[in-house]
């Protein structure tokens, strides 16, 4: 999966200022409850948002504002999210809320069941061969670029969390 994500991320060339392929942090952690897991994933998404907002403003200051990386870092020291949004909007006419959900929210990869129907040619005893539709369930990894902090995501995907009473 890491190679797939690297390929997708680098399909238009490396991001400005990068030094090679991105690294991915993968962990396996057992949390004591669904609430702990949701809290952790919410924190990760909030962290993704904070990092992306900073990087969006930082690289906009460098690429469109003509600042050096040191100057951009100095300008952003001590700023809050509202300050960063104001820099983007006032100086560059960029509304951060209009950036893609993938960049603002990150990517959640989850297994989802999908019904798949294929046509198979079958020979039924005492009959001629015929095409028969066969439906089977397959699990596929699906990418979601949405809010996972609120309840809606979890209501739409209840299969992610197991029953806490186990």
pLDDT along the chain (166 residues), means of 10: 49 62 72 90 90 94 96 97 97 94 88 88 84 89 92 90 66
pLDDT of residue 163: 67
According to the model, what pLDDT value does residue 18 have?
66
Helix axes 34-63, 69-76, angle to 10 degrees: 130
The pLDDT value given to residue 30: 86
Q: Give the contacts of 6 (CB within 8 A, at least 6 positions apart).
A: 21, 22
**How far is 42 from 44, CA to CA, in rounded Å?**
5
- Is the distance from CB of 77 to CB of 117 less than 8 angstroms? no
pLDDT at position 17: 63
| Residue burial 62-75, b: 16+ Cβ < 10 Å; e: rest | beeeebeeeebeeb
- What is the pLDDT at residue 158? 87
Cα 104 to Cα 8: distance, rounded to the nearest angstrom: 17
- CA-CA distance, 147 to 108, in Å (whole number)? 9
Distances (CA, A) of 73 to 54, 61, 63, 70, 104: 10, 9, 13, 5, 20
pTM passes above 0.75:
no
**Which pLDDT score, from 0 to 100, does residue 2 have?**
46
Structural tokens at position 79: 């700023």
pLDDT at 8: 52
- Interval 12-34: pLDDT, tens: 566 666 666 666 667 788 888 89
| pLDDT at res. 83 | 97
């Amino acid at each position: 999966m890491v190679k797939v994500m690297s390929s997708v991320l680098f399909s238009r060339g490396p991001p400005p200022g990068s030094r090679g392929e991105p690294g991915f942090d993968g962990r396996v952690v057992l949390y004591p409850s669904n609430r702990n897991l949701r809290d952790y994933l919410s924190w990760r998404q909030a962290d993704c948002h904070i990092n992306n907002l900073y990087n969006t403003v930082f690289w906009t200051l460098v690429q469109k504002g003509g600042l050096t990386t040191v100057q951009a870092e100095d300008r952003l020291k001590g700023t809050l999210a509202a300050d960063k949004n104001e820099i983007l909007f006032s100086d560059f006419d960029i509304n951060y809320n209009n950036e893609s959900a993938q960049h603002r929210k990150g990517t959640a990869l989850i297994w989802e069941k999908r019904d798949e129907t294929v046509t198979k040619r079958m020979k039924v005893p005492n009959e001629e061969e015929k095409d028969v539709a066969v439906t089977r369930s397959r699990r596929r990894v699906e990418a979601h670029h949405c809010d996972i902090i609120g309840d809606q995501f979890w209501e739409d995907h209840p299969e992610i969390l197991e029953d806490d009473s186990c």
